[in-house]
Chain A
């Protein structure tokens, strides 16, 4: 069904602080629009002071994260044809900012917590000489984690942060992906397992997989990053046989 000429209602969260509330807008759609196009049209035609973050319009910069009909998505990668199809006829499409982060204004939130948490992660420590060589399989494994565009939809989705607000105890899915990327790097010699358990609180994750569901870069956050790290934590702390083996072979590790 063509969307050209269809009048569509939107409800967008406007304002800041306690005054923030949903406001209704109506625009005429064109063919092939994405949600961000509609927000821009509202901004252009009706609300020049509507605050919205965006940059590349290609799903690569991770700026335009929002909750569309209650589902966190990138506005630039969400087709209007899909959103119109999922919204009951006559109902407005609701657009809210990410709810797990402090609100700044309209659709803009403050995601700086993620960067502060990232600063606590020990960087990769490899050989001094930069002639690092490793095979394709080893590279592919960590390459997946580098696909992250830092849209923080996963962090916004994670119930440990969204519902329980454990921002001091838990690093969030994005930073666990970063930890996996460093920890599984073939040339890295740094040990981050005690921090992953204690400071970054990997055990708070209960594998409900919402972060993977929401990732626009298609990273297997749960299976390839978090569970793999959890298994390494098990190796270190919860596997008596491995502990005995380490004692017998005199391997010294930090706990």
Chain B
């Protein structure tokens, strides 16, 4: 470090020389995430009913509770005399939760909103952050290095989500589509975009290599290029897919409770 005296920077939570409305974005994101977490908690533990409905032989599942592993023969889950607080979401939701929680985009959001580390660029952090001693992702958040393992699990869940979409297509009289198909289809599409634009996937696909010249490495290089394009809008896919999970759940809830009704758009 060169010789010289450091300027006295503004110290203390939220102190800055910025003159724009820097609090708006972190505040909106904090509210969005808090609402998402509260709603999920309510659905999981207080109101785990009305999670799916049938329409002329097709089944539409709420995105929060899909896949409904408790209906599976696998590991005898359908015969398991489970405690009353256990439901499909409790068993599966740790995967999308872990994937989103360790996501490189999401980290920006929660370090800024919940940890004020920092709340916004060029805005000082609270005293407690400095007293605790900043360790970045070396201490507690070292867990974020597991992102790729959550990615593997999320890919399996995603495949099952698409499988669940096919269940909305099979009617008693043949194949068709309902509004529920669109709701689940859009949700599965947005989640696919979110997963395929993942930074860890980008690295595993081709980013780990320096040369993309021959054979498989050439394909991996091309894959890296494609994912890189999607990766630029990872944040967009993060938020849209998150919002649609809840919109989808509200739709299923509304239909089950009789506020709205679904209908077959066409059957062939």
Contacts and interface: CB of A to CB of B under 8 A. Distances in A.
Interface of A: 13, 16-18, 20, 67, 69-72, 86-88, 91, 94, 96-97, 99, 101-104, 109-113, 116, 134-135, 137-138, 157, 159-160, 162-164, 166-167, 183-186, 188, 201, 203-210, 213-214, 220, 223-224, 227-228, 231-232, 234-235, 237-239
Interface residues of B, number: 51
B241 to A, nearest CB: 19
Dominant secondary structure at the B interface? loop
Q: B5, B141, B200: which has the most chain A beta carbons within 10 Å?
A: B5
Contacts of B19: 69-70, 86-88, 91, 94
Interface in B50-80: none
Interface in B1-37: 1-7, 9, 16-20
A234 B121 CA distance: 27
Contacts of B104: 207, 223, 227
A166 B134 CA distance: 9
A207 B208 contact: no
B17 A160 contact: no
B7 A99 contact: yes
Dominant secondary structure at the A interface? mixed
Contacts, number: 161
Given A204-B135, A227-B104, 13 more contacts: A18-B5, A71-B122, A86-B20, A91-B19, A101-B4, A103-B4, A138-B221, A164-B130, A166-B134, A207-B108, A214-B121, A231-B203, A234-B147
26 contacts: A69-B20, A70-B17, A71-B122, A88-B19, A91-B19, A99-B6, A102-B1, A102-B4, A103-B4, A137-B212, A138-B213, A159-B117, A167-B1, A186-B211, A204-B134, A204-B136, A206-B136, A206-B137, A206-B141, A210-B121, A223-B199, A227-B203, A231-B199, A231-B200, A232-B203, A234-B148
